[in-house]
Amino acid sequence: MTWKVVSAKTAGVSHLRCGAGCQDAFASAVLGEWLFAAVSDGAGSAAMGGEGAETAVEAALAFLVQAGPRLAGMEEKMRGAACAAQDALQTKAVQQGAALRDLACTLLLAAAGPEGIASLQIGDGAVVAAGRDGSPVALTRPPDAEYANETDFLVSEGAMQKAQIKLWNEMPGYCALFTDGLQRLALQWPGCDPHLPFFQPLFRFAAAAGDKSAEELQRFLQSPKVAGRTDDDITLILAALE
């Protein structure tokens, strides 16, 4: 068994309008039967949010890959990966002579293998899993917020205490991670359960992925069907276990 992975990101309309570009970042790695994936949304209010997102996903993914592909102890490995991302952001801030808040970003992680899936989330977005039948289950969900567009960031005080960590002890068929730009399309409100008609076609797409699939996924994210319903940056990682 191995994982097929298709990933893409695109700048939101509001970011393009002000010339900011996409401030999301993603990274993934496949080691045999195991998938490691990371997604981050750089805070629009942060001067270096995009750089923070890139730094966070690179550090977190490197930690998970080095920690190794076993579900046992994965909860602590997830915490370790998030702490590694925090350390990398602190180092980046010192190197750039910037305040840590200038690198504010969210973080979503997943480690998936035949034993199950482990996930972590700080901030908004979600991690979704599914068995071989493609029926999606939310492992993490956008946190409740008092105000619109309010969320926690990796650099926020008490971020680790607010982290959502979930283990799914079933053989997976599919996994998805996405930033908050897709929340309104991918999740049913107010409960934030995964929207079946959204995910099942995408999971089938991931299972049949080929060389051009990343380009096709990006075109989908940029299409009026998606971009017309959100003005925020969008990042999506899709994975199917063959």
Give 17-57 pLDDT, tens digit per residue. Answer: 666 678 999 999 999 999 999 999 999 889 999 999 999 99
171 φ, ψ to 5°?
-65, 120
Give 135-191 pLDDT, tens digit per residue. Answer: 999 999 998 754 445 689 999 999 999 999 999 999 999 999 999 999 989 999 888
Q: What is the pTM of this model?
A: 0.94
C-alpha R_g of the chain: 16
Kindly report the CATH number that applies to the domain delimited by 3-241.
Answer: 3.60.40.10
Query: Looking at 131-183, which runs of residues are DSSP E strands?
Result: 136-140, 164-168, 174-178
Asked if residues 12 and 236 have their Cβ atoms less than 8 Å apart, the reply is no
Start-end of H helices in 9-73: 13-17, 49-67
Neighbours of 205 (CB within 10 A): 16
